[in-house]
Amino acid sequence: MNAINYLNKQRAVWLLRLYMLLLFVAGSINADAHVGSSGVIVQRKAGTYQVLVSIQPPDVVPGTATVTVFVEQGRVNRIKARPIYFDSGDKGAPTYDELTRLDANRYEGDVWLMESGSSSVELAIAGPDGPVKVVVPVMAVATAVRTMPQGTGIGLALMGLLLIVMLITIIGASNADGIAAPGQTPPPTLKRRRVVGMGVGAVVLALLLTGWRSWWTSSAESYKNEQLYRPLPIKASVVPAAGGQQLTIRLDTTGFGTNWQKRRQISFVIPDHGKLMHTFVVRTPGLDAFAHLHPNRSDTLTYNATLPPLPAGTYLLFSDIVYRSGYAETLTDTIQVPGQPSSAYLPLDTDDSWLVATPMGVKAGAENGPHLDNDMVVCGKPGASTKLADGSSMLWMDKPGAVLESGKLYNLKFAVADAAGKAAPLEPYLGMGGHAVILRSDGSVYIHLHPVGTYSMAAEGSLTGRLADTARTFQYPDAQRFRDSIDRYVSRLKTLPEGEKNKLLMAAMPPMNHTMAVNNMVEFPYAFPRAGHYRIWVQVKRNGQVLTGVFDTQVNDPLL
């Protein structure tokens, strides 16, 4: 083979590789759906440091999670981050990546999440006040497929067509090279050999591309059917029962045996601040009736609760559960409530609560106008107030403005004042200062908030405990024994005095620094993921009674 023939063949190989790479990139971002995610927000005190952490996980896995850390207290020199999966633990975790310091108190960087499943991001904080580590639970799941811009697709297709023509031409020329020496008349067979070479090259390329396309189509279908996250389906129903109406939530295990993506470790559900399941039901479309329930587990698949005397209507249902692996998810359904007399209500859990308020967008005496609760000014800033069931008032303090911005991190602060306007001290509610639920008017955004952020404390406990485990692979205990032990623990909590129960729950939670000069306030860090009209329910406890405040607000996209 002469030098020209060798160079032509080398060029053909290079062009073929380039074309396959371009096709791979084009195929990998060609899709037709997208599901948004609001990320994870955590406010933590670790040693002498207090940090506010925001993690935006990728919507495709493998992918990069954006980690932002705001240092609220303490002297920090550097922050490093690494992902840790529950299955592989500390032994299988990669090395740390250092975050970039963007200003005096803000650090940011990307962390690769290579596998789907329960995971966390471990932050290593160093400074004059000593080294500490913070674990932030992150659910690494594929929630979307990517779409290619039409212009990019057309450009890549034209480039691909050009490369194919060049490859066929090179193959034909390579097949005819070396027949005639320089200066000699080409033989009659030269043209025929070139045409035959081009034809054979075209057939080979067609077969290669057809095979590659078949493989890619199969891989894309596998991604959509098996890797793309789908919440565990449930079947919720309401039936008459002693003491009111019974809400039954049954986990649907259909397909567990044939599709690994649907499987869950349902025998290994663990309590989150003392409850196996937190269920919220909200009447639609007005979002004017609300209940926070804690169903009992009657068997592995079935949970039951007594519905409070809610008005009849269609209700959105959101149930939060956490697995032993730290994997947390919200299960959703829609139920029909026929209504019931209030005298028949006997709750199965004394921590259950409910409220009926005015419909969203409607305020008494202003039925034809918008209702955004901007009815007062607190310390020169817009504020909002709502009456509580015991005659006290809840105030939305330091509200940034009448209209908030999507994607912006806020610290939502609420205070309670008694009927005389004096600060009303609050009691722990399930081991913490309060709870909040935020729901977009169409039900497309839902979040159960705590003073420490948007994540589950039970998930953090599982993932932190896994870090201390030196085993390379986690070994689950016997499913029935584990479930029975959890049921006994939850039942025991219900028998404890309120103070003892809260002390036990708080001991299992991460350190929180939300001490106020007067114990009548509660704060929740949150960033609204998209524009829209939102309703916020804030729940606190006072004199042994769970009190719920309701606030509405408008969120717009930021002006560019």
Q: Are residues 448 and 538 in the same domain?
A: yes
Please, which residues bridge with residue 393 across strands? 387, 417
Please report, in tens digits, the pLDDT of each residue of the chain (560 residues total): 344 343 344 443 333 333 333 333 333 333 332 233 458 888 888 888 989 999 988 888 888 999 999 999 899 999 999 998 888 888 888 899 999 999 989 999 999 988 887 888 999 999 998 999 999 888 888 777 777 788 887 888 888 888 888 888 887 777 666 555 566 666 666 777 777 778 887 888 888 888 888 888 887 777 777 777 888 899 999 988 776 789 999 999 887 767 666 678 899 999 998 999 999 999 999 999 999 999 999 999 999 999 999 999 999 999 999 999 888 889 999 999 997 665 677 888 889 999 999 888 755 544 333 334 444 434 444 457 888 999 999 999 878 777 899 988 898 999 999 988 888 999 999 888 899 999 999 889 999 988 888 888 888 888 888 887 777 788 889 999 999 999 999 999 999 998 888 888 887 775 554 454 558 899 999 999 889 999 999 999 999 999 999 999 999 998 76
Q: Are residues 430 and 536 in the same domain?
A: yes
Q: Are residues 351 and 368 in the same domain?
A: no
Does residue 7 lie in a domain region?
A: yes
CATH number of the CATH domain containing 368: 2.60.40.1930
Q: Are residues 393 and 537 in the same domain?
A: yes
Q: Are residues 415 and 548 in the same domain?
A: yes
Do 385 and 393 meet the contact criterion of CB atoms below 8 Å apart?
A: yes
pLDDT recorded at residue 342: 58
Other Cβ atoms less than 10 A from the Cβ of 302: the count is 14
Q: What is the 3-state secondary structure (H, E, C) of 229-277?
A: CCCCCEEEEEEEECCEEEEEEEECCCCCCCCHHHCCCHHHEECECCECC
Q: Among 122, 140, 158, which residue terminates a domain? A: 140
Does residue 233 lie in a domain region?
A: no
Q: Are residues 445 and 555 in the same domain?
A: yes
Q: Are residues 436 and 559 in the same domain?
A: yes
Q: Are residues 48 and 127 in the same domain?
A: yes
Q: Are residues 541 and 434 in the same domain?
A: yes
Does residue 398 lie in a domain region?
A: yes
Does residue 469 lie in a domain region?
A: no
Does residue 468 lie in a domain region?
A: no
DSSP assignments along 362-404, one per residue: -BTTBTTS------EEETTEEEEEEE-TTS-EEEEET---SEE
Q: Are residues 340 and 244 in the same domain?
A: yes
Does residue 419 lie in a domain region?
A: yes
Q: Among 227, 255, 286, which residue terminates a domain? A: 227
Does residue 176 lie in a domain region?
A: yes
Q: Among 114, 140, 166, which residue terminates a domain? A: 140
pTM for the structure as a whole? 0.80
Q: Are residues 260 and 323 in the same domain?
A: yes
Question: Per the structure, how many domains does the chain have?
Answer: 4
Do 555 and 534 meet the contact criterion of CB atoms below 8 Å apart?
A: yes
pLDDT recorded at residue 260: 63
Phi/psi of residue 119, nearest 5 degrees: -145, 175
Q: Cα(396)–Cα(386) distance, rounded to whole angstroms?
A: 9
Range of the domain at 492: 238-356+478-509
Q: Are residues 253 and 301 in the same domain?
A: yes
Q: Indicate the pairing of strand 97-98 with strand 78-85.
A: antiparallel
pLDDT recorded at residue 232: 87
